[in-house]
Amino acid sequence: MRAATLTKFDAPLTLRDVPVPTPGRGQVRIRMHASGVCGTDIHVWHGHFPVQVPVVLGHEPVGTIDELGEGVTGLKAGDRVGVSWVQKGCGACGHCQRHQDLYCDEAVTWMNHGGGHCEFMIAEAAGCTRIPEQLDWATAAPMFCAGFTVMSGYRNAAPRPGDRIAVIGIGGLGHLALQVVKAMGHELIAITGTPGKEQEARSFGADHVLTVKQHAGQELAAMGGADVVISTSNSMAQNSQVLAGLRPEGRFVTMAAGSEPIAVDPLLALSRQIVVKGSMQNRRADLVDVLELAVAGKVKPKLELYRLDQVNELMTRQKDGKVRYRGVLQIAR
């Protein structure tokens, strides 16, 4: 089978021909239909994640169950599934006992077994989530990282009915965050540092669009501020600024990784009692919920589609910030 493999950091992925893998105990083999490319893949490619090379990238994998390993129940050949980042915890630690395997020190992820940019992927059965029949593969794939992440981000903001919510950073995650927030019925502001995204931001559900000129926070405040700011922006300068646009007891939730710090003005923080919070894929229920929003047509990723052998073209566009708005590899129809 073909597998797009990271063999050396910062070097193009290699399309290798490797043996079809056999699932071990508790695992499944999935015939891949599609696999999304995420901004995090670029961090991995640069060597910012603890992966051993060679490794197959791809943490938005979707496909059909092809073979079951020993001891797998509840799944059968032909089932449509996707695999989320954390597939399984150790089962024994306090976090796992609380069904919070995302915090488990021994959590199994795609970094252990390899990801979805290949024809057949091995995954823990526990990491598989069913994909509703109505969803096509390319639409389903981005739900497994981007969609899951933004649904958890929305929930981590502790939104209240009537909250005015802003999303800063309109890319792969942000365009889905806008749609999730809109689906939940909030007044919605899209904030972007890139001119020319206004019309598309409105098509994703934004009631207002702020294209930042000087200072994201002051400009947001001038528009009346927001109770919640959900950030998918890699600009930590803008993330720092935008806090000034939070209303009293506002919540800022960030999902974007970066090496720069976010600066919090302590006087601002205490006078308005704001919360600054990080968020990642949290409860599996968030993934199931965003899949259901996709089935309802309320969340619809805007896609660029590629073949597996075009993976480096897509990775380059992702690195350069040119993807509008999610790139997906179509592997089998």
Q: Residues in the site for Zn ion, rule: CB under 5 A?
A: 38, 40, 89-90, 93, 96, 104, 145
CB of 197 to Zn ion, least distance (A): 21
Of 143 and 210, the one with the shorter C-beta distance to Zn ion is: 143
CB of 102 to Zn ion, least distance (A): 10
Of 36 and 250, the one with the shorter C-beta distance to Zn ion is: 36
CB of 104 to Zn ion, least distance (A): 3
Angle between helices 174-183 and 146-156 (to 10 degrees): 50
Of 145 and 287, the one with the shorter C-beta distance to Zn ion is: 145
Which residues, other chains included, contact 214 with Cβ-Cβ below 8 Å and sequence gap of 6+? none
Three-state secondary structure call for residue 293: helix
Of 27 and 40, the one with the shorter C-beta distance to Zn ion is: 40
Side chain identity, residue 272: R
Of 129 and 211, the one with the shorter C-beta distance to Zn ion is: 129
The answer to whether the beta carbons of residues 48 and 326 sit under 8 Å apart is no
Of 77 and 90, the one with the shorter C-beta distance to Zn ion is: 90
Of 144 and 252, the one with the shorter C-beta distance to Zn ion is: 144
Of 18 and 257, the one with the shorter C-beta distance to Zn ion is: 257
CB of 262 to Zn ion, least distance (A): 20
Helix then strand then coil, in percent of the chain rounded to 5, is 30, 30, 40
Q: State how far the Cα of 69 lies from the Cα of 79, in Å rounded to an integer.
A: 14
CB of 333 to Zn ion, least distance (A): 24
Q: For residue 294, give Cα distances in angstroms to 131, 137, 249, 331.
A: 10, 12, 31, 21
Q: State how far the Cα of 115 lies from the Cα of 82, in Å rounded to an integer.
A: 11
Which residues, other chains included, contact 274 with Cβ-Cβ below 8 Å and sequence gap of 6+? 243, 246, 248, 249, 250, 251, 252, 268
CB of 101 to Zn ion, least distance (A): 6
What's the first-to-final CA gap in the chain, in angstroms? 16
Tokens representing residue 25 in the block: 């105990």
Of 58 and 63, the one with the shorter C-beta distance to Zn ion is: 58
CB of 203 to Zn ion, least distance (A): 23
Tokens representing residue 167 in the block: 């999303």
CB of 57 to Zn ion, least distance (A): 10
Give, for 65, the enclosing helix (H) or strand (E).
strand 61-68
The answer to whether the beta carbons of residues 92 and 101 sit under 8 Å apart is no
Which residues, other chains included, contact 91 with Cβ-Cβ below 8 Å and sequence gap of 6+? none
Beta strand 55-56 with 2-6 is antiparallel
CB of 145 to Zn ion, least distance (A): 3
